[in-house]
Structure formats: structure tokens, C-alpha cells
Amino acid sequence: MPKKPAIKKTTILAVASKGGHWEQLCQITPAFLDTHVTMFVTTDPGIVQDRDLKNCCTIKDYSQSEPAKVIMGLIESYQLVRKTKPAVVISTGAAPGLLCLLWGRVFGAKTIWVDSIANAEKLSLSGRLASLFATLTFTQWESLADGTRIQYAGSLL
């Protein structure tokens, strides 16, 4: 009897900064954990120790007010995306997730940005930037969706 070819699972890079960004990412991931190889990336080393995640690594955290750290983050996120070669990059924020999304797009991955539920009045800066290049950009507030670049599909919390 001939062997069935192994089905290659899609690799997903799931990136979020600590706190609410991470909690919202954890609301999304059960949808694909069993069917895809998922590499979790966070800015909090404690999460790696506390959670029972098979594939998890940390990257440094930074914001737009720290230009030197952003430059280092560009390099770090480039190396991470190049090494993992994901088919999909998904992030709930913040800046480190945006840069992983950027490199994912450069390397041909599908990219998904889910803006934080905390941004009720307008998209975050990272969300606005992501909407310029991400495959899909979601807001958790219906009033912020524009029907084209920024979509609403419900909230996570």
C-alpha cells in the first residue's frame, strides 16, 4: 500500500506585546492551533515560562518614541521572520508585531493585523500603518471600519 504524502501544515507567526495585546492574541489562536504550526512571539519572557506553549520566543519591546530601539527591532524582526519563513503573520500589536508583519509581507506571507479593543476612538498608530500594507486589517469597533482596508468582524473580548 503506497504511503500517503505528509500534509505540510502552514506555519503561522503569532506576535503580540505583553499585556492586553497578548491576551487578545490568545483569544484568536485556538482557531488555528490544531491545524497549523504556530510560533508564538512575545515581549514578555515570563509568558514563555508561565504558558505551556510548544513554540515560543521573545523579542524586545519598544515604541515609536524610541528610534534606536525601533532600528534594532527592525533587525530582530527581520531575522525572526527570515528564520521562521511563515506563511501567515498575525499580530494584535504593538510595534514589534507591526515590524514582524512588515517583514512577513516583504517575504510574501499573508499578514493579519487585529487592532486592540482599547482603540475605540481611532486605530492605533501601528494599526493605521498596518492598514497600508497588511493583507487584512481588523478593528474591534464597527464604527472604525471603512469597509475596504479596515474591516470589522466582531470583538475578541
pTM here is 0.91
pLDDT of residue 8: 65
Q: Is residue 63 part of a domain?
A: yes
Contact status, residue 109 vs residue 87, Cβ threshold 8 Å = yes
Q: Is residue 52 part of a domain?
A: yes
**Domain span holding position 29:** 19-113+127-137
Angle between helices 95-106 and 67-84 (to 10 degrees): 50
pLDDT of residue 5: 57
pLDDT along the chain (157 residues), means of 10: 65 96 93 91 86 84 94 98 98 97 98 95 96 97 94 86
pLDDT of residue 34: 85
Q: Is residue 80 part of a domain?
A: yes
Contact status, residue 69 vs residue 46, Cβ threshold 8 Å = no
Q: Is residue 30 part of a domain?
A: yes
Tally of structural domains, the chain: 1
Q: Is residue 41 part of a domain?
A: yes
Residue 54, CB-side half-sphere exposure with 13 Å CA sphere:
7
